[in-house]
Copies of this chain bind each other. A is one copy, B any other.
């Protein structure tokens, strides 16, 4: 899938508690396809990653603060999971507004596992068809979402998967969907 995303800039919004493989593998898939990725977060420095929520799994460097970026800076958005990660993001108004603006812009967004909790906080998934980790499905349904149990689901500009087991299908679909987005003028200027 090399070159499918040449010149595209992708935001990876995450913070402490992110599930390591759910950031690492999709980011590699995006960069293998030619994209530039930024880890966008709510504080400077590094974020703490986890394996299975409870095991320390190193850190990722933060490239940009969510307060300093806008949807115009990127052509697509990735929201990894990990339970604590979206739980913290949803309390940050700038992070929630970034997710809301991205979904409303029509640009492609992909999320896996607990990542879709941020959609609930942004209130952007009423009437949309999604999948997610089982623990958050009641919250998604209560937010007006049609929840299905499939390995990867694309509804309009939102692509979702359930868990790390779905990563191969998730990464493939995400690259396909992100490749459909036209390269924007702003992002092109900065590439």
Q: What is the interface of chain A, defined by CB distance below 8 A to chain B?
A: 16-17, 48, 53-54, 83-84, 87-88, 90-91, 114, 120-121, 123, 134-136, 138-139, 142-143
Contact = CB atoms under 8 A, between A and B. Distances in A.
9 contacts: A48-B54, A83-B87, A87-B114, A87-B135, A87-B136, A88-B135, A91-B134, A91-B135, A138-B143
Given A83-B83, A84-B83, A84-B84, A90 B138 contact: yes
A81 to B, nearest CB: 11
Contacts of A87: 53, 83, 114, 135-136
A134 B88 CA distance: 10
A145 B107 CA distance: 33
B142 A84 contact: no
